[in-house]
Structure 1
Amino acid sequence: MNELTTLEKRAMARISTADGHMLIVAADQRNSMKAVMQDAPDGPESISREELAQAKGDLVRHLASHGPAILLDPEVALPQLVDDGTLDASGTALVVGMDASGYETVDGLRHTRFSAGVTPRTVRDLGGDAAKMLWYLRPDRQGSDSDVVRGIRELVEACTAEGVLLIVEILLYRLEGETDEQYAERFPQLVADAARLSVEAGAKVLKLPYPGSAEACAAVTEAAAGVPWAVLSAGVDHSTFIGQVRTAVAHGASGAMAGRSLWKDALSVASAVREDLLTHRALPRLRELRAAVDRADATVGA
């Protein structure tokens, strides 16, 4: 197991429930958040940067303020939501997303980029309790000597030196020429192998896709070798995600990081409508998700 420093242990406690399980509202999306915002007069492209920042602020006020932590981006949300007191007033921990939107494809493999100018020191300067960086990985094509794994190792070391807890997010993807059936068959092993490579590179906290079954979750937990991992929602609906989280936590996962499964049908361009939807639709989901990560009985509906 890759041991946490004292500062990292404090950050881990900040992003976790009172029972010690990770629970983070993911709101670092940019284009995908625009895409699900309702009532946009001329489609997602008509939503301005300012309107997107306001929506992220409302997610802090009406949703994330009821949970341990929120994941925000430095391209739209930060430092504004810290400087204007929105986040401080909520008492919610801040996880700073370090990755830029989108990816580049080189020789059929996807590569993410850092948001411009964002470093571990930037995370601290923005008031972050922790950082998150996303990497795309195909462990059947990229091994311990790959650029991706070297990048994980270097950022873990840089964050540790800066006293910043790093959450390593891994996304898998279908290769060109690979059928849906082939990818689905390989997926559980890919998630486990990605966890193993990340831990070998020094990762101390993982954010991973649901690998598909109880057996696959147990295999991921074994591959993570004591490193805590949280399951991400990947845009599935809330009821599906709750089932995935319950299965994952029962087989070794340490929590969940949820974005669109919480709020994708609760964002409206009209702020009054948005507040109502976040309060009466998204918030009950967050409460149910907290019960799921804490393995408590939950009767709150979606």
Structure 2
Amino acid sequence: MNPLTTIERRGMSAISTPGGKMLIVAADQRNGMKAAMKDAPGGAAAISKAELAEAKADLLRYLANNAPAILLDPEVALPGVVDDGVLARGTSLVVGLDASGFETVDGLRYTGLVPGVTAKTVRELGGDVAKMLWYTRPDRQDVTSRVADEMRSLIKECTDEGVLLIVELLTYQLEGETDEDYAAKFAGLVADGAKLAVECGAKVLKLQYPGSAEGCAAVTAAANGVPWAVLSAGVDHETFLGQVATAMAGGAGGAMAGRSLWKDSLSISPDLRRDYLTNRALPRLRELADVVDGANRP
């Protein structure tokens, strides 16, 4: 286990429910949100930065201000929602540090930081906590790999700055790898990725659902006391509720939900967005909170 500093404990508390479980509305997506908005009837072929920023502000106004925390990006949403007073006093801000997309080197994926954004600027943007995404294939990457070096460096930078860093990991299918081979490896890749990140000093993890109760237990064992939250990965709300219930029973520490909450609220015209977020997305958030805190967990 990698212990939290005192200030990191404050950050952990800020992103957690009264029951002490992580619950974050993920809204740092850029390309994914644009794709959802293009699906709206009469949607534009290209979504402008201003239109995307307003959609993110609406997600905050009508949905995430009812959650412990929201995850936003510094390319589109920040610092606007803070400066404009959209972010509610009781909702904490997680700043996503990862730039959109990835590069591929020798068949492996690598992400980069948003230009100009550091652990220090997280505070300057009004953030309470930071988040960084790394793609991992722990069957080809170990503690001496480039991705491990990147993790160690940013974790140390954030710790030195007094900023809790959520380490998000995504495993992926390699070129030439069959669907069957990848599916057979998937749960192990999620668990081994968690183990690698913890060995690099990670203190909080955001991970894919490993597929089963046994997979969740294996992830919890690999995390070795480091709390992990399950991400929604674009599945529908009902499916995600079941995944979260299984993950929590298997030792997970919370959930971070994006498209499962709000995708259909963006795939409509902007004048209907408030109604959809209020009457569809918000009840989903409350159902998710009940599962996370155990009030509605089998």
Q: If the length of structure 2 is used for normalisation, what is the TM-score? A: 0.97
Q: Which amino acid aligns with 2:21?
A: H
Q: Which residue of 1 aligns with 2:28?
A: 28
2:24 counterpart SS class: strand
Q: Does 1:234 align with 2:233?
A: yes
Q: Using the TM superposition, give the Cα deviation of residue 255 of structure 1 relative to its aligned residue in structure 2, in angstroms.
A: 0.1
Q: Which amino acid aligns with 1:146?
A: S
1:189 counterpart SS class: helix
Q: Which residue of 2 aligns with 1:135?
A: 134
Looking at structure 1, the residues matched to 171 and 4 of structure 2 have their Cα atoms a distance apart, in angstroms, of 26
RMSD: 1.3
Q: Using the TM superposition, give the Cα deviation of residue 292 of structure 1 relative to its aligned residue in structure 2, in angstroms.
A: 0.8
Q: Does 1:175 align with 2:170?
A: no
Looking at structure 2, the residues matched to 269 and 126 of structure 1 have their Cα atoms a distance apart, in angstroms, of 30
Q: If the length of structure 1 is used for normalisation, what is the TM-score? A: 0.96
1:207 counterpart SS class: strand
Q: Which amino acid aligns with 1:253?
A: A
Looking at structure 2, the residues matched to 234 and 245 of structure 1 have their Cα atoms a distance apart, in angstroms, of 12
Looking at structure 1, the residues matched to 20 and 90 of structure 2 have their Cα atoms a distance apart, in angstroms, of 17
Looking at structure 1, the residues matched to 283 and 43 of structure 2 have their Cα atoms a distance apart, in angstroms, of 31
Q: Does 1:52 align with 2:52?
A: yes
Q: Which residue of 1 aligns with 2:113?
A: 114
Looking at structure 2, the residues matched to 42 and 282 of structure 1 have their Cα atoms a distance apart, in angstroms, of 21
Q: Which residue of 1 aligns with 2:101?
A: 102
Q: Which residue of 2 aligns with 1:266?
A: 265
Q: Using the TM superposition, give the Cα deviation of residue 174 of structure 1 relative to its aligned residue in structure 2, in angstroms.
A: 0.1
Q: Using the TM superposition, give the Cα deviation of residue 41 of structure 1 relative to its aligned residue in structure 2, in angstroms.
A: 3.3
Q: Which amino acid aligns with 1:198?
A: A
Report Cα offsets for 1:203-258 as digits up to 9, x if no partner.
00000000000001000000000000000000011111100000000010000000
Looking at structure 2, the residues matched to 108 and 40 of structure 1 have their Cα atoms a distance apart, in angstroms, of 38
Report Cα offsets for 1:76-132 as digits up to 9, x if no partner.
000111111111x35210000000000001111000010011100010110111000
Q: Which residue of 1 aligns with 2:2?
A: 2
Q: Which amino acid aligns with 2:196?
A: L
> Is the Cα contact below 8 Å between 1:167 and 1:205 reproduced in 2?
yes
Matches within 5 A, 1:85-96: 85-87=85-87, 89=88, 91-96=90-95
What stretches of structure 1 move > 4 A for 4+ residues in a row? none
Q: Which residue of 1 aligns with 2:193?
A: 194
Looking at structure 2, the residues matched to 238 and 273 of structure 1 have their Cα atoms a distance apart, in angstroms, of 20
Q: Which amino acid aligns with 2:96?
A: G
Structure 2, unaligned runs of 5 or more = none
Task: Report the number of matched residues.
Answer: 297
Looking at structure 2, the residues matched to 223 and 106 of structure 1 have their Cα atoms a distance apart, in angstroms, of 27
Identity %: 68
Looking at structure 1, the residues matched to 267 and 52 of structure 2 have their Cα atoms a distance apart, in angstroms, of 11
Q: Which residue of 1 aligns with 2:288?
A: 289
Looking at structure 2, the residues matched to 35 and 65 of structure 1 have their Cα atoms a distance apart, in angstroms, of 24
